[in-house]
Structure 1
Amino acid sequence: MLHLKCCAEITPWDHDENVGQGFLNAWRIATMAKCQRCGKGTQFGNNRPWSRKATRRNWQINVQKVTVFENGRAVSKKLCASCIKSLTKA
């Protein structure tokens, strides 16, 4: 007897580990690479080689984990390089 799962019962762990890993990794990167100060995140666009064949790609921002002082307390944040640069100038 074949048991079919409805959509609510299917989890990401039910599938083969190799299927969809590229999508999951791209999703993790796109959601994680975000500055907590300015909100700058991943940008999306096309690769345009000499043949003009457009393929999708994304540009990651330079996010670093740094410790900053807020209201006299040390707080760990993920900031982009431009925000770190502006904080050191202030």
Structure 2
Amino acid sequence: MAKCSVCDKGVHFGIQVSHAHNRSNKLWKPNIRNVKAVVNGQSKKIKVCASCLRAGKVQRAQ
């Protein structure tokens, strides 16, 4: 699965439990976006989560 290249956020696993106590596997996926960003002075396509984009941790390329 994809990971954020800024904060390393990835998939989280857990178990979903219904009212009848039936258990099934569950995964929570981060909101990953392919973004053209400036990395070391060059524009490059990287995978970034939406929370890092909103926080301004990534400078987008023109």
The number of equivalent residue pairs is 58
Tell me if 1:53 matches 2:25: no
- Letter of the 1:40 partner, please give it: K
Distance 2:19 2:10 in 1: 28
Where does residue 3 of structure 2 map in the other structure? Answer: 34
- Letter of the 1:51 partner, please give it: A
Q: Which has the larger radius of gyration?
A: 1
Tell me if 1:68 matches 2:37: yes
More helix by share: 1
Distance 1:62 1:51 in 2: 31
Q: How far 1:86 moved relative to its partner?
A: 1.2
Where does residue 53 of structure 2 map in the other structure? Answer: 84
Unaligned runs of 5+ in 2: none
TM-score for the superposition, normalised by structure 1: 0.58
Unaligned runs of 5+ in 1: 1-31
Look up the SS of the partner of 1:39 in the other structure.
coil
Give the structure, 1 or 2, with the largest relative contact order (CA under 8 Å, sep 6 or more): 2
TM-score for the superposition, normalised by structure 2: 0.80
